[in-house]
Structure 1
Amino acid sequence: MSKLMQLNKNKIQQLRKHKCWSQDELAAASNLSIRTIQRVEKTGNASLETVKAVASVFEVEPLYLQSNKDIENVTFNFLCKYSWIAAFALSSVFFGLWIVDILIPTLKGADFNNQYKIHGDFRYLDFGGISFFAGFALLGVNLFIEFLNRKRMTGRVTVNSEAD
């Protein structure tokens, strides 16, 4: 059995409607069954042979029919995946500022409380600690999501291998 590809079902429907074709007409033009066309438009799943046949009928490259993630979705996933790095970087900045603005002058003899008043009572350690723990929380969430994705993918492989 051939490997299934994920197609952008909306593109296929738009191309079909642009030609004013029914699903029956697309099936006849591509030498595919009506059931295959219905499945492709419903789920987006298609074999390589089906992709080639549909692409040929619409006179487009098969790559054009493949499913593309929206750029917003890709950006959101990227931010979710790497936000923990930003949180750790932010905590490093706050800890560094605390060392430079509060700790070093205090070690040189400045009044500790006066150093905070000079900087508007800004609590570097509080924000550094919060962003540090937020980084750990985001990292934990990211690892858990990766674990679930791998577990789901492993489950799919098992189901597919049983079908073959």
Structure 2
Amino acid sequence: MSTVMKLNKRKLQQLRTMRCWSQEQLAAACGISVRTIQRIEKTGQASLETMRALAAVYQLSPDDLQVAQPIEVLTFSLICKYAWLVAFIAASIFFGLWIVDILIPTLKGADFNQQYELHHNFRYLDFGGICFAGGFLLLGLQVYLDNLSRKQLTRRRHHLEE
């Protein structure tokens, strides 16, 4: 299955018109169908192979044809996509600290309540549990959103094929 890439459709149209090419001429030069050229110029979506063919014809890097996203959007998207992992890491740290600061000294004979008092009654397990539950919620949300975007992509493909 091909990966769908988001291309800069205005740039593609400008490149084609600057060379005074029709869509048919571009399609012939790329070795793809005219319908594919029409769809790309309308939606901006193309397969990886089609993007490479267009880039080769225009003697550009495939990256030059893609839609540029601001770094802030990419960073926020990356943070949202992996927030569940950060929550699980935080839970692991809290659980680890509980084992080192509370459980091990207690097993060696220290008073359980005194160990908590030494650490200013910080409730490692409470924070670890909250982070763990939050991680599961964020992971579930991420899986749901990925599934939703796949369904939308499939609907678009079926719509374009009709």
Under TM normalisation by the shorter chain, which class is it? 0.5 to 0.7
CA distance in 2, matches of 1:127, 1:5: 41
Closer/same/farther in 2, CA of residues 66 and 158 from structure 1, 3 Å limit: same
Task: Report the aligned-residue RMSD.
Answer: 3.5
Aligned to 1:19: none
> Bigger CA drift: 125-134 or 61-70?
61-70
Aligned with 1:109: secondary structure? coil
Q: 2:115 maps to what in 1?
A: 115
Structure 1 segments unaligned to the other structure (5+ residues): 17-25
Describe the superposition over 1:35-88 as per-residue Cα deviations: whole angstroms up to 9, x where unpaired: x9xx95x96569x7xx96xx96xxx73742431233322222222111111111
Partner of 1:100: 100
Aligned to 2:60: 61
Using structure 1 for the length normalisation, give the TM-score: 0.65
- Count of residues paired in the alignment: 138
Partner Cα separation in structure 1 for residue 90 and residue 136 of structure 2: 13
CA deviation profile, 1:4-35 (whole Å, cap 9, x unmatched): 9743367x4xxx8xxxxxxxxx95763459xx
For 1:61, the aligned partner's letter is L
Identity of aligned residues (%): 48
Partner of 1:158: 158
Q: Unaligned regions of 5+ residues in structure 2, if any?
A: 24-36
Measured in 1, the distance between the counterparts of 2:157 and 2:76 equals: 27
Q: Structure 1 CA distance, aligned partners of 2:19 and 2:99?
A: 72
